[in-house]
């Protein structure tokens, strides 16, 4: 029974580790959700910035004579804006991938914790049964001693009459 009690203690420590891992996975998932939200917000902010840039470039083109140098500068500005937009979208995709990975890690940590909990529950139940059996055996032994004492006591008393 003592060996089994140590097994229960080991499984309890294992469950504690899985609980801690699950909590860590939840924190990482929360951070991943936050990163996705921030990346999407950055894209939205940049989209608004691009709209302003487009209007500024149109005003620049409409109100003055445009030279080849001006068109080249506008083209360069638009190319930089497009590259930044692609980079921001890549950031969103990376954040979403990290979120998916964090969700999978959290799901696995929850499954591991549940399995450890079930194992601990079984072990605890078996340990409780062993304890009850041990108590029953002690009670049975005590009853046998009492019966033997009574048998000796009253057996002799009956024989001496």
Query: pLDDT digit string (tens) for 96-142?
Result: 999 999 999 999 999 999 999 998 888 889 889 989 999 999 999 99
Asked if the structure places residue 114 within a domain, the reply is: yes
Q: Which two tokens stand for residue 141?
A: 């032994």
pLDDT of residue 161: 53
Average pLDDT over residues 53-60: 85
Asked if the structure places residue 65 within a domain, the reply is: yes
- Rounded CA-CA distance 105/24 in Å is 10
Asked if the structure places residue 59 within a domain, the reply is: yes
Nearest CA to 107 out of 36, 29, 30, 37 is that of 29
pTM for the model stands at: 0.67
Asked if the structure places residue 8 within a domain, the reply is: yes
**Mind listing the pLDDT tens digit for each residue in 72-88?**
988 899 899 999 999 99
pLDDT of residue 101: 97
Who contacts 151 (Cβ-Cβ below 8 Å, separation ≥6)?
Answer: none
Domain tally, the chain? 1
Asked if the structure places residue 156 within a domain, the reply is: no
Asked if the structure places residue 96 within a domain, the reply is: yes
- Rounded CA-CA distance 106/113 in Å is 10
In which domain, by residue range, is 40 found?
2-118
Asked if the structure places residue 17 within a domain, the reply is: yes
Asked if the model's pLDDT at residue 160 lies above 60, the reply is no
Asked if the structure places residue 82 within a domain, the reply is: yes
Asked if the model's pLDDT at residue 63 lies above 60, the reply is yes
Phi-psi region of 64 (alpha: psi -120 to 50; beta: other; left: phi over 0): beta
1: pLDDT confidence band, cut at 50, 70 and 90?
Answer: low
């Amino acid at each position: 029974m003592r060996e089994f009690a140590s097994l229960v203690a080991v499984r309890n420590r294992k469950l504690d580790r899985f609980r801690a891992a699950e909590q860590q996975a939840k924190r990482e998932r929360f951070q991943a959700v936050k990163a996705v939200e921030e990346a999407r917000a950055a894209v939205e902010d940049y989209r608004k910035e691009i709209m302003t840039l487009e209007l500024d470039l149109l005003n620049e083109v409409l109100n003055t004579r445009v030279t080849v140098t001006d068109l080249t500068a506008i083209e360069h500005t638009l190319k930089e804006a497009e590259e930044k937009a692609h980079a921001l979208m890549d950031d969103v995709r990376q954040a979403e991938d990290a979120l998916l990975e964090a969700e999978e890690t959290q799901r696995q940590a929850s499954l591991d914790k549940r399995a450890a909990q079930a194992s601990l529950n079984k072990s605890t139940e078996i340990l409780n049964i062993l304890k009850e059996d041990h108590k029953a055996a002690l009670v049975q032994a005590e009853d046998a001693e009492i019966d033997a004492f009574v048998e000796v006591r009253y057996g002799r008393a009956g024989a001496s009459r």
